[in-house]
Amino acid sequence: NAGVMQNPRHLVRRRGQEARLRCSPMKGHSHVYWYRQLPEEGLKFMVYLQKENIIDESGMPKERFSAEFPKEGPSILRIQQVVRGDSAAYFCASSPEAGDETQYFGPGTRLLVL
């Protein structure tokens, strides 16, 4: 059973470009969570999705950021018009059921905005 997969692992963008981060949950997991880790800090919750639904996006910046988890294919975190402050590691986690199981984290995408 492959773990949570994220790609790309490293992404370099210039200010103003778009970043698209992809996450494939573990097989059988229908709950996906995105977290952001700024340098030297802990992880901060961004958004929780189930297939075709955003359940909680309370941690997501109101502008430029969006997330989806379509019926087919990976979950996508999209950042439009990136700024230097978006440079961080973005982790995706998945779980089979919400709350009663631990979350399994992917390897992360490290975004660098020049």
Partner 1 sequence: ELKVEQNPLFLSMQEGKNYTIYCNYSTTSDRLYWYRQDPGKSLESLFVLLSNGAVKQEGRLMASLDTKARLSTLHITAAVHDLSATYFCAVDSAGGTSYGKLTFGQGTILTVHP
Positions touching partner 1 (CB under 8 A) are: 31, 33, 35, 41-45, 48, 55-56, 58, 91, 95, 98-108
Rounded to an integer, what distance in angstroms lies between the CA atom of residue 45 and that of residue 108? 14
Shortest distance in whole angstroms from residue 43 CB to partner 1? 5
Nearest CB to partner 1, comparing residues 1 and 58: 58
CA dihedral 98, 102, 106, 111 (to 10 degrees): 70
Nearest CB to partner 1, comparing residues 50 and 80: 50
Shortest distance in whole angstroms from residue 92 CB to partner 1? 10
Which residue carries 């210039």 as its tokens?
A: 14
Shortest distance in whole angstroms from residue 60 CB to partner 1? 12
**Which is nearest to 39 in space by CA: 110, 104, 105, 103?**
110
Nearest CB to partner 1, comparing residues 17 and 103: 103
